[in-house]
């Protein structure tokens, strides 16, 4: 046993003695102390934490302390999570939640739901993790618990970050940052800055990522958090490498290396030495690259030798133990050989008898299984026929729903009444779609929008009807003209529609909304998560109008939408689209197309006539997608002024 384990074992005995001997109030305080001690060991010594928690559960049950019993269950689950025993961790957390629900302990429920999400996130089951984190967030917000709300928002951001959906990750990280600023929690603010910067780095938005990393670095230095400072130096160095700024990358790597030496973190030291060598090599300073590589190899070999010596000592001890065991077994076998020879003769006789009996039983079982198989095949065929009929009815219903959706949404040829050169790419993932485009003409203005509703297929189509109706009402019924005020009104109407059902709180849409005024070439535009792109005639860059980073629908920390106004010249091309095209996986490495990929495609073909441009963009998208399944609805409108 290790010394900490012996100490905790003695501590448990002392605690049990105190619990038996002291008053109820004193015994409760002792158990509470044991909860804190067991939690401290969940990461560093999970076996000790499990033993302490089991003792605590036993005493809590005996004395009727349900809340403490539930906390011990949660601690034991955390210890199993540390050991990688995820199924056991989930089982214990479910038992803990059951107790919290029994005693109506809402904070305990929220905390345990958050831990369930963490377990599923480590298992890679991100959709399930999101569900648990969202349930925890609802609980924390109902309790007005700022710390818990921020923790859940941050965890949701982490889920989308690991999925590669950096925009949604930034949304949740930003909401977590707002709560931490409101709570004046500098550590939480620092973590949020780091997370937002990392997500922006994933979007290749390096200048913004650097801004957030520097904010985090300033706070970490103020807090004297050397671990976070080292991580940020490494992040900044990696960012500078991506930008080709090798001089500053090397400087940041050296800063990170100095901190790694101070904390004796051998793994980080090896990594930073190798990174510095690579940075010198990329900058063309081959002598310095060679010198740092030599230092890296020497350090690596020295640490590996220490590890190897330790492993050899363990193997030697294990070998001697095994040899001693083999000698003991050999002595036992010599005395057993004679007994085995007699037993062998008996075994042959019994074996022949058993074989004959087994053959008779097998024959009977085979005949019986044959009869059952014929009966099962008959039942299976009947079930297949029933399923086929049900599938046909379901498909017919969805196709009919598509006809209803087509009847409500504008006809594609209506665009021709207003724009001479235009094209539309509309690719639903399923029969019906959550993406739609919207067109409305008033006496003074013309409105065009491309929207992406929550989900796809039948659920997405149902949400699209609600969102389509909200746009119509905002303009026709309420007489709103400005694009930003239209989006504000849509958000209000959609929240009212879904407010009756808490489970639908995430429903809504992302949108790109354009208004053409009577003044020639003048447009007004607003967006929710989806941008607006312009390729000026004769230019080789894409001009992008940035949307508000929030959806239309329920959103924590919502702010009013803003409007952009700009002038278009003859020959300029404009593009409105949903995120289905940029989020599509494909290419040689199976990665997302991203905004930078779509920009390259449009810049390559924007000068072509509209129909040929549509075909070339479609072909480029299909080539990128290849054999990969389409992951979302796709809608893109292109117009030449």
pLDDT of 315 > 60? The answer is no
Tokens for 419?
């724009």
pLDDT at 377 over 90: no
Global confidence as pTM: 0.47
Q: How many residues does the chain have?
A: 641
The larger pLDDT score, comparing residue 7 to residue 163, is at 163
CA distance linking residue 63 with residue 27, whole number of Å: 9
Q: Is the dihedral of CA 591, 596, 597, 598 positive or negative?
A: positive
> Is 21's pLDDT higher than 60?
no
Which one-letter DSSP state was computed for residue 548? Answer: B
Residue with more model confidence, 615 or 366: 615
**Average pLDDT, stretch 519-528?**
90
> What sign does the dihedral 105-111-114-115 (CA atoms) show?
negative
Sheet holding 543-545, edge to edge: 421-427, 634-640, 573-577, 532-535, 543-545
Contact 530, 544 (CB under 8 A): no
In 224-265, alpha helices (H): 226-243, 246-262
Across 152-166, 203-217, 273-287, 372-386, least confident range: 372-386
Which residue in 68, 111, 74 sits closest to 89, CA to CA? 74
Predicted local confidence at residue 612, as pLDDT: 93
Choice between 638 and 508, residue whose per-residue pLDDT is larger: 638
Q: What is the pLDDT of residue 333?
A: 60
What pLDDT, in 10s, does the model give residues 36-86? 888 989 888 989 989 989 988 988 888 888 988 899 999 999 999 998 899
Least confident of 20-34, 94-108, 219-233, 541-555: 20-34
What is the C-alpha separation between 202 and 209, in angstroms, rounded?
9
pLDDT (0 to 100) of residue 282: 86
Angle (nearest 5°) at CA 369 between 366 and 373: 135
Question: pLDDT grade, residue 416 (50/70/90)?
Answer: confident
Q: Please report the pLDDT score of residue 506 as a whole number.
A: 63
Q: Token digits for 232? A: 């940020």
Confidence (pLDDT) at 310: 57
Comparison of pLDDT for 376 and 328, the residue scoring more: 376
pLDDT for residue 495 is more than 80: yes
Residues with Cβ < 8 Å from 241, sequence gap 6 or more? Answer: 249, 279, 282
Please determine, for residue 373, whether its predicted confidence score (pLDDT) is greater than 90: no
Query: Beta strands 573-577 and 634-640: pairing type?
Result: antiparallel
Q: Which of 132, 127, 121 is nearest to 94 (CA)?
A: 132
User: In whole angstroms, how large is the CA radius of gyration of the chain?
Assistant: 33
Q: How many CB atoms lie within 10 A of CB 234?
A: 21
Quickly state the pLDDT bin for 459 (edges 50, 70, 90).
confident
CA distance linking residue 435 with residue 449, whole number of Å:
11
Closest CA to 159 of 183, 136, 187, 184: 136
Specify the pLDDT at position 318.
53
Q: Are 271 and 230 spatial neighbours (Cβ–Cβ below 8 Å)? A: no
Residue 560: the pLDDT is 93
**Whether residue 565 has pLDDT greater than 80:** yes
How many other CB atoms sit within 10 Å of the CB of residue 506? Answer: 14
Q: Could you count the other beta carbons within 10 Å of the beta carbon of residue 636? A: 25
pLDDT value at 175 more than 90: yes
pLDDT of residue 64: 87
CA 521/CA 518 separation, integer angstroms? 8
Look-up of token digits 């550590």: 187
Query: Taking all residues of the chain, what is their mean pLDDT, rounded to a whole number?
Result: 83
| 617/118 Cα distance (integer angstroms) | 41
C-alpha–C-alpha distance, residues 49 and 492, integer Å: 49
* Strand 591-592, strand 446-453: pairing: unpaired
- pLDDT recorded at residue 20: 42
Please tell me the distance from the alpha carbon of residue 353 to that of residue 123, in angstroms, as a whole number: 51
Higher-pLDDT residue of 107 and 296 is 107
Q: Which strand (E) or helix (H) includes residue 508?
A: strand 508-516
Whether 254 has a pLDDT exceeding 70, the answer reads yes
Contact indicator for 616, 605 with CB cutoff of 8 Å: yes
* Res 292: pLDDT: 83
Q: Output the CA torsion 487→569→415→599 (10° steps).
A: -70
Say if residue 636's pLDDT is above 90.
yes
Distances (CA, A) of 9 to 28, 44, 49, 413: 19, 16, 11, 79
Whether the pLDDT of residue 176 is over 50: the answer is yes
């Amino acid at each position: 046993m290790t010394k900490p384990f012996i100490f905790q074992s003695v501590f448990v005995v002392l605690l049990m003695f105190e619990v038996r001997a002291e008053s109820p109030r004193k015994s409760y305080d002792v158990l509470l102390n044991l909860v804190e001690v067991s939690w401290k060991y969940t990461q560093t010594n999970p076996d000790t934490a499990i033993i302490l928690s089991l003792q605590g559960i036993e005493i809590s049950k005996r004395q009727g302390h349900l809340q403490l019993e539930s906390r011990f269950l949660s601690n034991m689950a955390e210890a199993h999570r540390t050991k990688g025993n995820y199924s056991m961790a989930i089982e214990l957390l479910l038992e803990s939640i059951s107790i919290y629900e029994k005693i109506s302990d809402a904070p305990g429920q929220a905390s345990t739901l958050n831990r369930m999400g963490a377990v599923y996130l480590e298992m890679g089951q991100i959709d399930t993790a999101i569900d648990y984190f969202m349930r925890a967030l609802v609980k924390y917000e109902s309790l007005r618990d700022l710390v818990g709300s921020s923790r859940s928002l941050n965890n949701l951001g982490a889920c989308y970050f690991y999925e590669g959906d950096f925009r949604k990750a930034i949304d949740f990280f930003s909401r977590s940052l707002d709560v931490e600023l409101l709570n004046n929690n500098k550590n939480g603010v620092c973590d949020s800055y780091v997370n937002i910067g990392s997500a922006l780095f994933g979007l290749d938005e390096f200048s913004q990522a650097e801004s957030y990393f520097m904010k985090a670095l300033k706070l970490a230095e103020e807090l004297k958090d050397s671990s976070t400072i080292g991580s940020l130096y490494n992040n900044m160095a990696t960012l500078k490498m991506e930008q080709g700024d090798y001089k500053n990358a090397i400087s940041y790597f050296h800063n990170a290396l100095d901190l790694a030496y101070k904390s004796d973190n051998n793994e980080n030291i090896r990594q930073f030495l190798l990174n510095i060598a690579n940075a010198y090599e990329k900058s063309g300073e081959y002598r310095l690259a060679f010198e740092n590589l030599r230092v890296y190899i020497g350090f690596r070999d020295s640490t590996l030798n220490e590890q190897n010596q330790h492993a050899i000592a363990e193997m030697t001890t294990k070998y001697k133990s095994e040899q001693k065991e083999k000698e003991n077994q050999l002595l036992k076998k010599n005395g057993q050989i004679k007994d085995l020879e007699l037993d062998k003769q008996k075994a042959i006789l019994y074996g022949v008898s058993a074989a004959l009996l087994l053959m008779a039983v097998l024959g009977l079982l085979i005949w019986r299984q044959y009869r059952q198989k014929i009966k099962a095949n008959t039942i299976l065929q009947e079930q297949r026929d029933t399923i086929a009929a049900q599938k046909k009815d379901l498909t017919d219903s969805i196709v009919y729903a598509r006809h209803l959706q087509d009847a409500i949404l504008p006809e594609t040829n209506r665009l021709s009444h207003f724009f001479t050169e235009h094209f539309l790419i509309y690719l639903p993932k399923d029969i019906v779609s959550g993406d739609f485009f919207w067109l409305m003409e008033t006496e003074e203005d013309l409105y065009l929008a491309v929207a992406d509703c929550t989900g796809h297929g039948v659920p997405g189509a149902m949400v699209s009807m609600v969102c389509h109706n909200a746009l119509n009402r905002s303009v026709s019924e309420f007489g709103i003209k400005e694009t930003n005020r239209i989006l504000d009104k849509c958000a209000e109407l959609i929240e009212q529609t879904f407010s009756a059902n808490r489970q639908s709180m995430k429903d809504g849409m992302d949108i790109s909304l354009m208004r053409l005024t009577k003044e020639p070439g003048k447009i007004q535009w607003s967006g929710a998560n989806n941008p607006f792109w312009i390729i000026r005639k004769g230019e080789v860059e894409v001009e992008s109008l940035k949307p508000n980073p929030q959806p239309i629908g329920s959103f924590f920390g919502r702010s009013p939408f803003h409007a952009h106004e700009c002038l278009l010249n003859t020959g300029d091309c404009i593009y409105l689209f949903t995120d289905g095209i940029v989020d599509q996986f494909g290419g040689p490495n199976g990665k997302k197309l991203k905004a930078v990929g779509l920009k390259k495609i449009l810049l390559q073909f924007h000068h072509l006539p509209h129909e040929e441009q549509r075909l070339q963009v479609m072909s480029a998208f299909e080539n990128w997608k290849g054999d990969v399944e389409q992951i979302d609805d796709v809608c893109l409108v292109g117009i030449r002024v």
